Amino acid sequence: MRRCLDLARAAAQTELPVLILGESGTGKTLLARAVHNSSKRSSAAFVSFNAAALSDTLLDSQLFGHDKGAFTGAQKAVKGKFELAHGGTLFIDEIADLSPVAQAKILRAVEYGEFERLGSERLQVADVRLVSATHLPLVAYTETDRFRKDLFYRIGGITLTIPPLRERSEDLRALVEAEISAASRQQGKTVRGLSRPAADVIFSYPWPGNLRELKRVLHAAIAMTDGDSVPREAIALDVAPRRLAASAEAASPADGGPPLPAEPSVTDRGPDADLTLRAAEARHIRLVLDKMGGNKRRAARALGVSRSTLDRKLGT
Ligand SMILES: Nc1ncnc2c1ncn2[C@@H]1O[C@H](COP(=O)(O)OP(=O)(O)OP(=O)(O)O)[C@@H](O)[C@H]1O
Ligand SMILES: [Mg+2]
């Protein structure tokens, strides 16, 4: 990670295009902004667009803008992302998702710095510094012709690869501490740290969703914590017990501890799932209560709340 940040700092001082690779949730979007903020262009615009969300029909007008009357409903001229980023940084997120048509159009714009607005013959020029990111294996994509090699070379002046969180065990401790104190402050709590069993789970889990998942789990845990340390039961990870047990075993073979009860992922609950915090809390309470064989006193202790708080939350 330090190597990656050193390279990012050096890259920011240049005008070279930067390509950021890394698994989902590792902080690519954040790093793209950081590169801009520490570059000479920091006082100019940082314009981002998400290639995954772009259809070919929207592409032209989104990227290159359009003139008044270019198509039905085009009542005024609109600037595209390239023009808006003039003098600054253009961030193309999820660049591996660009269609072949989009790749060709972007190549022309970045190669020559020239493009036309839709419905206009006039050539526009934009001076942009390009930063791109993807969680997909872009190099492999160029080998199978899913991604143009010429565009790949154009966007990858300097490649920054962010390591996954599971390879940043030294960072994890600091990140957890920082996130707990931020979440605790935001939620008006006085949580100071993790209980031993909670720490065992946090530090042996492989974090496939990286920093995004870590943040989500810790903020939810703080919401479930009333005392000054996070109980293990407040750590709700969307994993099968088998997987957690395996990773715990790998980390400390002598003391794997019993696996957490499996909590099905909310994203697997279908489109009509109740995603409110209140519903998540109710689900978690039911889970813990089940685990404690319906014993409310033990459930309350495990949840880190008083018996009367639990009764109130259960509506009894
Ligand atoms: N070093 C860090 N410290 C604290 N929070 C971080 C750090 N890096 C990333 N985050 C946070 O983690 C979350 C995910 O970061 P980000 O959106 O940049 O990831 P990403 O790699 O772009 O993910 P995706 O591939 O899904 O687009 C964000 O909430 C971000 O603020
Ligand atoms: Mg991102």
Over its length of 316 residues, how does the chain's per-residue pLDDT go in tens digits? 999 999 999 999 999 999 999 999 999 999 999 999 999 999 999 999 998 877 777 788 888 888 888 788 888 888 899 999 999 999 999 999 998 988 998 998 888 888 888 888 888 888 999 999 999 999 999 999 999 999 999 999 999 999 999 999 889 999 999 999 999 999 999 999 999 999 999 999 999 999 999 999 999 999 999 999 999 999 987 544 444 445 544 444 333 334 444 444 555 555 566 677 777 888 888 888 887 778 888 888 888 888 888 888 887 6
pLDDT computed for residue 24 by the predictor? 95
H or E stretch covering 169: helix 169-186
Q: Is 219 in the pocket of ligand 1 (CB under 6 A)?
A: no
pLDDT tens readout for residues 52-82? 877 777 788 888 888 888 788 888 888 899 9
Domain boundary residue among 163, 196, 229? Answer: 163
Residues 89 and 212 placed together within one structural domain of the fold: no
CATH number for 64: 3.40.50.300
Task: Specify whether 8 is located in the same domain as 72.
Answer: yes
Environment class of residue 41 by beta-carbon count within 10 Å: exposed (0-12), middle (13-18) or buried (19+)?
A: buried
Q: Using a 6 Å cutoff on CB, does residue 30 contact ligand 1?
A: yes
Check whether residue 135 and residue 246 sit in a common domain: no
Ligand 1 within 6 A of CB of 50: no
Question: Could you tell me the CATH number of the domain that includes residue 250?
Answer: 1.10.8.60
- Can you tell me the distance from the alpha carbon of 264 to that of 261, in angstroms, rounded to the nearest whole number? 10
Cβ of 215 below 6 Å from ligand 1: yes
> Are residues 138 and 148 both part of a single domain?
yes
Q: Which ligand is nearest to the CA of 25?
A: 1
Which ligand 1 atom minimizes the distance to the CA of 93? 27
**Rounded distance between C-alpha atoms, residue 48 and residue 57, angstroms:** 19
Same domain membership, residue 59 and residue 144: yes
Same domain, 189 and 251: yes
Shared domain for 238 and 314, answered yes or no, is no
Å from CA of 239 to ligand 1 middle: 21
Query: Quick count: other Cβ atoms within 10 Å of Cβ 235?
Result: 23
**Rounded-to-10 torsion of CA 28, 152, 94, 37:** 40
The alpha carbon of 230 and the centre of ligand 2 are apart by a number of angstroms equal to 29
Residues 155 and 33 grouped into a single domain: yes
| Structure-token match 């703080």, residue found | 222
Q: Are residues 219 and 290 in the same domain?
A: no
Query: What pTM value is reported for the model?
Result: 0.75
Q: Would you say the CB of residue 211 lies under 6 angstroms from ligand 1?
A: yes
Largest CA distance in the chain: 75
Ligand nearest to the CA of 48: 2
Q: Are 142 and 197 in a shared domain?
A: no
Where in the sequence is the domain holding 287, given as residue range(s)? 264-316
The CA 32 to ligand 2 mean position distance, Å, reads: 9
* Of 4, 20, 23, 29, best ligand 1 pocket probe by most atoms within 8 Å of the beta carbon: 29
CATH number for the domain including 284?
1.10.10.60
- Cα separations (Å) of 187 from 89, 102, 183, 202, 220? 35, 44, 6, 21, 10
Domain end residue (candidates: 122, 139, 163): 163
Best residue among 5, 138, 160, 211 to mutate for probing ligand 1, ranked by most atoms within 8 Å of CB:
211
Tell me whether residue 180 is exposed, middle or buried, using C-beta atoms within 10 angstroms of its C-beta: 0 to 12, 13 to 18, 19 or more: buried
User: Which of 115, 136, 163 is where one domain is finished?
Assistant: 163
Which residues have a Cβ under 8 Å from the Cβ of 238 and sit 6 or more positions away? Answer: 263, 264, 265, 266
Is the shortest distance between the CB of 27 and ligand 1 below 6 Å? yes
Residue of 49, 22, 13 whose CA lies nearest to 159: 22
Give me the residues paired with residue 213 across strands: none
The answer, yes or no, to whether any atom of ligand 1 lies below 6 A from the CB of 168, is no
Alpha-carbon gap, residue 182 to 161, rounded angstroms: 27
105 and 196 within one domain: no
Pair 133, 11 in one domain: yes
Burial class (CB in 10 A: 0-12, 13-18, 19+), 13: exposed
How many Cα atoms within 13 Å fall on the side-chain side of residue 255?
A: 4
Q: How many domains does the chain have?
A: 3
pLDDT score for 258: 40
